[in-house]
Amino acid sequence: MPDSPPAPSSLKQTILRGAVLALFCWAVGWLAMYKLALGVVAGWVIGGATFGIGLYAIANLKGAPAGLWVTFGLKLLSVTCYKILMVVMVSYLSKDCGMSAANAQYAYAVFGFMMSCCTLLAGSITDAIGLRRTLTLGVSLAVLARVIMISASNPWIALTAGLVPVAVGEALCTPVLVAATRKFSTAEQRSVAFSVFYALLNLGFLAAYFIFDGVKGLSNGGMTIHTWVGDHSVQRVLFAVSAGIEVVMLPVLLLLRERDALGEDVAEGASAPMQRMTAGEAVAKSARLFSKLLSHPGFPRLLMFLAVIGLLKIVFSIMDGVLPTFLERELGAEGGARAGRANAVNSVLILILAPIAGILTRKIPAYPMVIFGGFITALSFVFLALPSSFFQGLADGPLGQAVIRGYFAWQGTAHPLFLMVVLWQVVFSIGEAFYSPRVYEYAVSIAPRGQEASYAALSAVPLILGKITTGTVFAWLLTSYCPETGPRDTATMWSIVGGLVLMAPLLLLVLRPFIRMKEEGKE
């Protein structure tokens, strides 16, 4: 007879964990308020959101192994520094490397393509050499690459010796934490665990957006920031901040020594004795696992599913690579500087909505929930496609004033575009809460045992495909419909994007008999 599961945490342990969490969140909020100079509102939002998601996790994941909590901590750190990198990437390429706006978008697409290729291979590498070793390698590469991008004066050195290694490093970190969440949770815990995982992802986004706005504010509207080592561009200072956060991951990695939900050691790899595995053997094993992934009968169906999801993930690339440019061209430099605060709306909402959606839909298979959330996400673009005059009355009213004057601290004319962006974020956040965490869950729930990371790597492909699509399509769309100077037709631009996103749930419905696969513990 199998051993009984461990008893739930006692009330005393829960109270103790809650107290430690509250102390940690107070420290996070204080640092945000005073050390990063983000202000009282941002400090309370970041600290309160961290406490809320932590309390939710403590209450709903009792009995989970310690490795799951370490994974959550690593995810929060990883996604914060990654998001800072992505938000500032296009600006860095154009302002520090001297690229045109269109070429910067194309380079952004190339970066996404490199990450896509590396992420596919990273899963098999993780299954071969273990979670912690892969993370250590990825974090080290990412930090080194950021240092090069900060210090290099030659743009080509920054691009070749900085952009390429950072793509490899970030790609190595991506599937590991998805696989770890799957391994450190049971089938019954999995929907809740992935909703917490996804909420933490958005908490990292939230922190990154506020850091982005805070650092840009230090420039007082200029192009450089004075630091103790001299004057540096805003972009390079942001890279330095993200590198510092990434370094913190290294000591946390030492805690990733735990058994999975079934009692098997996963931190060092489940099979070969890694201490005696040479580099050549590790490469050979990774190649075998990748070949096994490609030959799996369900691989083409999963790949088609994820390729379609890439159309939904366009939204996230728009937030990073397009919205800052769009706001700057429509509202000037002050408008572009508020892109981080605009995007933070989504992160705050997901912290609330993702756990709720995870609890309410935990017994429903992932595939139909992805379709449902996809339709809501596509609907959100109506708010950006409508004429701004349609929202002028609302912008002049109490709600508009609270959003424009209060949240965005905008002193100029109450432009309805701020309200349009917020409404877009609210609606697509509802759709995202239903579908996005389930994409990760779907990929790992159909994975054969021992290949969780390989399948987790595939779950990151839609987001990277979204970056490629955004970089290539929006280089043309911005030039054609929202140029830096001259007449603009942004309604048509957003209608085209909304149509692209709508294709995703429609294709999933049509292709359902051909690409849907059985999910562990769901059907």
Q: Which pLDDT tens digit goes with each residue over 45-57? A: 777 777 877 777 7
According to DSSP H, which parts of 402-460 are helical?
417-445, 452-459
Give the span between the Cα atoms of 407 and 338, in whole angstroms: 10
Write the CB contacts of 82 (distance below 8 Å, at least 6 apart in sequence).
170, 173, 204, 208, 242
* Domain boundaries defined on the chain: 10-62, 65-259, 296-522
Helix, strand, coil distribution of the chain in percent, nearest 5: 75, 0, 20
Lowest mean pLDDT among 89-98, 137-146, 343-352, 439-448: 439-448
Do the Cβ atoms of 235 and 95 come closer than 8 Å?
Answer: yes
More confident residue, 468 or 151: 151
Number of H helices, E strands in the chain: 23, 2
Tell me the one-letter amino acid at 84: I
pLDDT of residue 503: 94
pLDDT digits (tens, 9 = 90+) for 246-292: 999 988 888 876 454 444 554 444 444 444 555 566 667 667 766 77
* C-beta of residue 505 within 8 angstroms of C-beta of residue 380: no
Look at residues 501, 124, 153, 175 and name the one whose alpha carbon lies nearest to residue 318. Answer: 501
Looking at residue 2, what DSSP letter applies? P
Q: Is residue 35 predicted with pLDDT exceeding 60?
A: no
Contact criterion met (CB below 8 Å) for 404 and 395: yes
Paired tokens of 452: 């969780």
pLDDT for residue 446 is more than 60: yes
Burial environment of residue 270 by CB neighbours within 10 A (0 to 12, 13 to 18, 19 or more): middle
The answer to whether the 65-259 and 296-522 domains have the same CATH topology is: yes
- Assess if CATH 2.40.30.10 describes domain 296-522: no
Kindly state the average pLDDT of the residues 39-65. Answer: 75
CATH topology of domain 65-259: Growth Hormone; Chain: A; (1.20.1250)
Segment 208-237 mean pLDDT: 76
How far does Cα 57 stand from its chain's mean position? Answer: 19
Residue 440: predicted pLDDT: 74
Give the model's pLDDT for residue 495: 94
Lowest mean pLDDT among 222-231, 236-245, 351-360: 222-231
- Placement of tokens 């799996």 in the chain: 296
Distance in angstroms (rounded) separating the CA atoms of residues 198 and 211: 20
What band does 376 get if pLDDT is binned at 50, 70 and 90? Answer: very high
Mean local confidence (pLDDT), 138-162? 85
Average pLDDT, the chain: 79
Residue 423 pLDDT class (50, 70, 90 cuts): very high
Q: Where are the beta strands (DSSP E) in 198-357?
A: 224-227, 230-233
Instruction: State the burial class of residue 4 (Cβ atoms within 10 Å of its Cβ: 0-12, 13-18, 19+).
Output: exposed
Rounded Cα distance, 47 and 29, in Å = 4
Q: For 232, which DSSP code?
A: E
The mean per-residue pLDDT over the stretch 300-322 comes to 82
Q: Give the pLDDT score at 421.
A: 93
Is the per-residue pLDDT at 365 higher than 60?
yes
Distance separating alpha carbons of residues 176 and 129, to the nearest angstrom: 11
